[in-house]
Structure 1
Amino acid sequence: MASFLLFLSASVLFAQSTAAFNCAKAPIYVDIHKRAVHGTDVFQYGSFIGVGNPSQNQSLWPSLIRNDTIITDSNYCDHSTLANCAQSTRGNFDTSLSTSFVQEKNFQSLDHNITDLNGTFTGEFGQDDLHLYTHFFETDGASQNVVSKYTIEVATNGSAAPGIVGMGYSSTLLQTLYDQNLIAGRTYSLYIGSGMDRAGGVINGSNVFGGYDAGRFQGDVHKYPMRTDNASPFPVTVQDIIISDGGDSTSNISLFDPASFSNLKTRPDPFEARLTTEQYPLSLPYEITQNYIKKLSAGPSGNSDGSLKLNKPFAGTMTIILDDGFTITMPNNVMFNTSGISPVAARDENSTDPFLLSVAFLSQVYLMADYDTYQFFLATAIQEQKAVMPRTFCPKATPTPYIPPKASGFAQQGMIGAVIGGVVGGIGLISFASCLFLGLRSSRAAKKAERAEEEEKARGKATMLQFDIDDKTDFEAPPKTATPFFWNKR
């Protein structure tokens, strides 16, 4: 009885906690790709978002550690030490051109203690309208959701690239979207894609606020708890890393294996790594990084992000295995790009920096975060998908991938099967019609001859009909499976 009451109480509490969420509310899909942005003449990769009235388009990069949305002042590059600044701002914003911008001098940022991995910046805060654009097809115009009176930071000076939409565990954008009844809950999904210059790919990404794209991931969905005691709330535990040369299973080498690497006395313990979008290459423990260097003949690349370069061609892959069995394989084009740059960063032996599964990892993974219950989900990303399938991600729910219906044997053959079937069927139909025509004509001729013979007998004429007779006096019976009027005596 006590167990039943406990179950009933828990059910009531769950129902009460979910009643506040409007789970019929459609999500907001915002794509990530290269586009023209305000104030520069270069296409920049990021989320399709505009600021102000009239809107000044931005291409904002999603950050998993920051909570505020930061845009770049139109004069930022005049005071910044950021390399290649004009091509890295992700769009400029001129406060004087927006009729709705209101400065907020006393606003307290949630990110004041966060140090950007790539530098720092300072700025001013103000309220303005944020335009979240949905652009499913390049040939169609974009639709928008407007977040009114949203507080943004306008970066005026620094060494880092601003142009950031903050998606940390206290994201002000998610909270404002929920408060303005634009999404079902504080849920968010990200596929970062590979269209940024560092990745050298062409696959676009997407944000889904209050939902997820069911067509962008496949297979089992793995759940993990968030950590709110750290600026990076997405920790996972790496159990093994396997290098494959592209041959059979005997070519698989674990970077954790003491038998393969003499510097290892024992097998290293699994290590905790944080998911991040702050850098492209992975940051792995020193010993593991050294094993990677030895196995793949890697060395410094001179790249500003610290990536290692492979000194000889590599046709294999690298597989990262988490402690719950979630497995992601980095394909060959990520492991060895056209310049030989690899997705792993060099690491100093005395470094205390956190271990990171960064953009290189997230380009293969679909991330779904529930900030109302502080848990997140990972699944294998579908790199290329012809359809976008946004679904509401209700807090406390587990996302499920779209499973296409099984096609019939005929449908699986596609258009070619249909054409071949039509040709074969057409030939059969013509043959049937021809046989039918010949059979009917033969039958009419026989009946006409019979009538002529009867008429001759009736007139008393004894006319002897001459026939050519075969030597064979008997004949085979019609086959039992034949249609009668298709069969003729030989």
Structure 2
Amino acid sequence: MASLLFYMSATVLFAQSTVAFNCSINPIYVDIHKRAVHGTDIFQYGSFIGVGTPAQNQSLWPSLSQNITSFASLSYCTNNSTTLKECTKSTGGFFDASTSDTFRELEDFNTLDNDRNGTFDGAYGRDNMHLYTHYFETDGASETRLTDVTIEIAQKGDIAPSIVGIGRESTVLDALYAQGLITGKTYALYIGHGFDRAKGAVNGSNVFGGYDSGRFTGEVHKYPMSPDTKNPMTVRVKDIIINDAAVPNGEVSLFDQAAFPDMKSTPTPFQAEITTDQYPLALPYQITQNFIKHLDAQKDNYWGDNSLKLKSQFNGSLSIVLDDGFTVTLPSEVLSNWSNITPIQDRDENSTSPNYLSTAFLGQIYLMADYEDHSFYLAEAVQKNNMVMPVSWCPKTGAPQAYQRPQQNAWIKQGLIGAVVGGILGGIGISVCAYCFIVAYLRKREEKKIEKDLERSKAAKIEQMEIEEAPEFEGPPKTPKTATPFFWKKRRS
């Protein structure tokens, strides 16, 4: 009886935990690509979001650590304390609060983002935000208006300040859910690599309250969020493998003491935070040293992020193996770009900073977060996705499901039906052409045969004098001296 009561109470609690979410609400898809932004004519890569009334369009970079969405003030790049490189080309736009009819400043606001990878200072306020759904660059955008949400106006700093905060306490997700615009605090991200540091062409996307089912494939892997790290999405790395055709077996593990005998001890699996705050991966010191030794890498700071650079071109790849076996591979064009700069950051031996699987890592995966369930999911990203398929994702309902393409039999999969139909039609066409050619040929041959027969017949008649020439007639004879009856005579030769 007690066990029955236990199961009944558990069922009621589960029903109460899910009935609060309206799972029929459609998600909000916000694309990530380069566009014109307010306050500058420089196209910048980011999430298509506006702020204020009337809307001032921005390109906001998604942050998994920041909670408050922030915008650059008009004075951000003219402030003497700002050190952001190429500031006017990198802010993601500028926000002029004085021209917004709905902006109101918040005094004595306690920020949720004290611990950042790079800093900026600013004032806080509340205003309307405009989330634009823009599936294709050639099409117009539809708008979802989010009213009276907390924002930050960055005034000085050393990082790009235009950021949409998707951290544990994201004010955007809270406001979207509170205003009934999404089914719950779920979110999905594909960062893409259409920005300058990645030098790619594929754009990314955010999905608030859902995910894009066509953007990932294969098995979906679930992980718990970490409550004690700046970036709550943390995984455990058990191996890193360089795929190199120049070595035996075609690969070498950066954890392998036999491959790197000068290591003091075999590296152990390590924790790494998933972050969008930087592009290169930050790995443990010994792993970084093994990478340097195997590929003859050297220090470089061309991008200002201490990425390592190879002395010569390398066509191999690098695979990161997580504790549950999920393997994420950085292809050769990511591992060593056009100038041989790698996505691996140099590391000081005494560094105590976290290990990071950063934007270079996120460019290969699709990330989905359920903040209500305190869990997140990773899957292999579909790099070139021709269709956008946002799906509502109700919190605590389990792993997202990738779009399943219709099942096709072997004939359709391999294009054999098309080949057969094409062969039949082609064969009919060839047969018709051949038939016409043969008929024309036979007709021509028959005509020539008839002509030859006529010629032969004529020649034979001439020889046998059987051909009658045209008859000749004499005119009426002259009147004879003696009148006698007459008639015309036909003379035969």
Question: What TM-score bracket applies, with the shorter chain setting the length?
Answer: 0.7 to 0.9
Hey, what's the Cα distance between the residues in 2 that align with 1:177 and 1:107? 21
Question: Counterpart of 2:51 in structure 1: which amino acid?
Answer: V
Q: 1:134 to 1:247 in 2, by over 3 A?
A: farther
Check whether the contact 1:169–1:228 (CA below 8 A) recurs between aligned residues: no
Hey, what's the Cα distance between the residues in 2 that align with 1:228 and 1:65? 12
TM-score, normalised by the number of residues in structure 2 = 0.84
Tell me the residue number matched to 1:450: none
Tell me the residue number matched to 1:101: 103
Question: Counterpart of 2:316 in structure 1: which amino acid?
Answer: G
User: Per-residue displacement from partner, 1:395-453 (whole Å, max 9, x unpaired)?
Assistant: 0121011110123424752996486145247459969x99xxxxxxxxxxxxxxxxxxx
Give the Å deviation of 1:101.
Answer: 1.3
Give the Å deviation of 1:3.
Answer: 4.0
Q: 1:77 to 1:414 in 2, by over 3 A?
A: farther
Does residue 205 (structure 1) correspond to residue 198 (structure 2)? The answer is no
Q: 1:138 to 1:417 in 2, by over 3 A?
A: farther
Question: Counterpart of 1:354 in structure 2: which amino acid?
Answer: P
1:64-75 → structure 2 map (5 Å cutoff) = 64-75=64-75
Hey, what's the Cα distance between the residues in 1 that align with 2:138 and 2:187? 27
Question: Counterpart of 2:318 in structure 1: which amino acid?
Answer: M
Tell me the residue number matched to 2:115: 114
Hey, what's the Cα distance between the residues in 2 that align with 1:378 and 1:407? 27
Q: 1:411 to 1:379 in 2, by over 3 A?
A: closer
Unaligned residue ranges in structure 2 (runs of 5+): 437-493
Does residue 181 (structure 1) correspond to residue 183 (structure 2)? The answer is no
Q: 2:91 aligns with which of 89, 92, 112?
A: 89
Tell me the residue number matched to 1:227: 226
Give the Å deviation of 1:105.
Answer: 1.6
Question: Counterpart of 2:37 in structure 1: which amino acid?
Answer: V
Hey, what's the Cα distance between the residues in 2 that align with 1:425 and 1:16? 67
Give the Å deviation of 1:313.
Answer: 1.4
Hey, what's the Cα distance between the residues in 2 that align with 1:360 and 1:406? 34
Unaligned residue ranges in structure 1 (runs of 5+): 435-490
Check whether the contact 1:102–1:128 (CA below 8 A) recurs between aligned residues: yes
Tell me the residue number matched to 2:59: 59
User: Per-residue displacement from partner, 1:226-264 (whole Å, max 9, x unpaired)?
Assistant: 112222101100000001114687021000001000122
1:310-349 → structure 2 map (5 Å cutoff) = 310-349=310-349
Question: Counterpart of 2:192 in structure 1: which amino acid?
Answer: G
Tell me the residue number matched to 1:34: 34
Stretch of structure 1 that moved more, 125-134 or 175-184: 125-134
Tell me the residue number matched to 1:148: 147
Which has the higher Rg, Structure 1 or Structure 2? 2
Hey, what's the Cα distance between the residues in 1 that align with 2:173 and 2:102? 21
Give the Å deviation of 1:302.
Answer: 2.2
Hey, what's the Cα distance between the residues in 2 that align with 1:190 and 1:29? 10
Tell me the residue number matched to 2:277: 278
Question: Counterpart of 1:405 in structure 2: which amino acid?
Answer: P
Question: Counterpart of 2:374 in structure 1: which amino acid?
Answer: Y
Does residue 387 (structure 1) correspond to residue 387 (structure 2)? The answer is yes
Q: 1:251 to 1:72 in 2, by over 3 A?
A: same
Tell me the residue number matched to 2:480: none
Q: 1:210 to 1:384 in 2, by over 3 A?
A: same
Give the Å deviation of 1:9.
Answer: 2.3
Hey, what's the Cα distance between the residues in 2 that align with 1:414 and 1:74? 61
Tell me the residue number matched to 2:462: none
Hey, what's the Cα distance between the residues in 1 that align with 2:372 and 2:248? 43
Give the Å deviation of 1:95.
Answer: 1.1
Give the Å deviation of 1:2.
Answer: 4.2
Tell me the residue number matched to 2:43: 43
Question: Counterpart of 1:39 in structure 2: which amino acid?
Answer: G
Hey, what's the Cα distance between the residues in 2 that align with 1:220 and 1:77? 45
User: Per-residue displacement from partner, 1:336-372 (whole Å, max 9, x unpaired)?
Assistant: 1001000100000000000000000000011100001
Tell me the residue number matched to 1:443: none
Hey, what's the Cα distance between the residues in 2 that align with 1:410 and 1:380? 26
Q: 1:374 to 1:410 in 2, by over 3 A?
A: closer
Hey, what's the Cα distance between the residues in 2 that align with 1:344 and 1:276? 14
Check whether the contact 1:410–1:417 (CA below 8 A) recurs between aligned residues: no
Hey, what's the Cα distance between the residues in 1 that align with 2:420 and 2:147? 53
Hey, what's the Cα distance between the residues in 2 that align with 1:50 and 1:421? 55
Question: Counterpart of 2:352 in structure 1: which amino acid?
Answer: T
TM-score, normalised by the number of residues in structure 1 = 0.84
User: Per-residue displacement from partner, 1:15-41 (whole Å, max 9, x unpaired)?
Assistant: 110000001110000000111111112
Stretch of structure 1 that moved more, 294-303 or 401-410: 401-410
Q: 1:277 to 1:262 in 2, by over 3 A?
A: same
Q: 2:415 aligns with which of 407, 413, 416?
A: 413
Q: 1:253 to 1:140 in 2, by over 3 A?
A: same
Tell me the residue number matched to 1:377: 377
Q: 1:101 to 1:227 in 2, by over 3 A?
A: same
SS of match in other structure, 2:77: helix
SS of match in other structure, 1:42: strand
Hey, what's the Cα distance between the residues in 2 that align with 1:252 and 1:387? 35
Tell me the residue number matched to 2:242: 243
Tell me the residue number matched to 2:450: none
Tell me the residue number matched to 1:404: 405
Tell me the residue number matched to 2:460: none
Check whether the contact 1:318–1:335 (CA below 8 A) recurs between aligned residues: yes
Q: 1:415 to 1:345 in 2, by over 3 A?
A: farther
Q: 1:229 to 1:250 in 2, by over 3 A?
A: same
Hey, what's the Cα distance between the residues in 2 that align with 1:301 and 1:106? 42
Hey, what's the Cα distance between the residues in 2 that align with 1:69 and 1:265? 45
User: Per-residue displacement from partner, 1:19-77 (whole Å, max 9, x unpaired)?
Assistant: 00001110000000111111112111100000111111100000011100000011211
SS of match in other structure, 1:15: helix
Hey, what's the Cα distance between the residues in 2 that align with 1:152 and 1:412? 53
Give the Å deviation of 1:300.
Answer: 0.8
Question: Counterpart of 2:111 in structure 1: which amino acid?
Answer: S
Question: Counterpart of 2:112 in structure 1: which amino acid?
Answer: L
Q: 1:14 to 1:247 in 2, by over 3 A?
A: farther
Q: 1:30 to 1:249 in 2, by over 3 A?
A: farther
SS of match in other structure, 1:41: strand
The percentage of counterpart residues that share the same residue type is 55
Give the Å deviation of 1:108.
Answer: 2.2
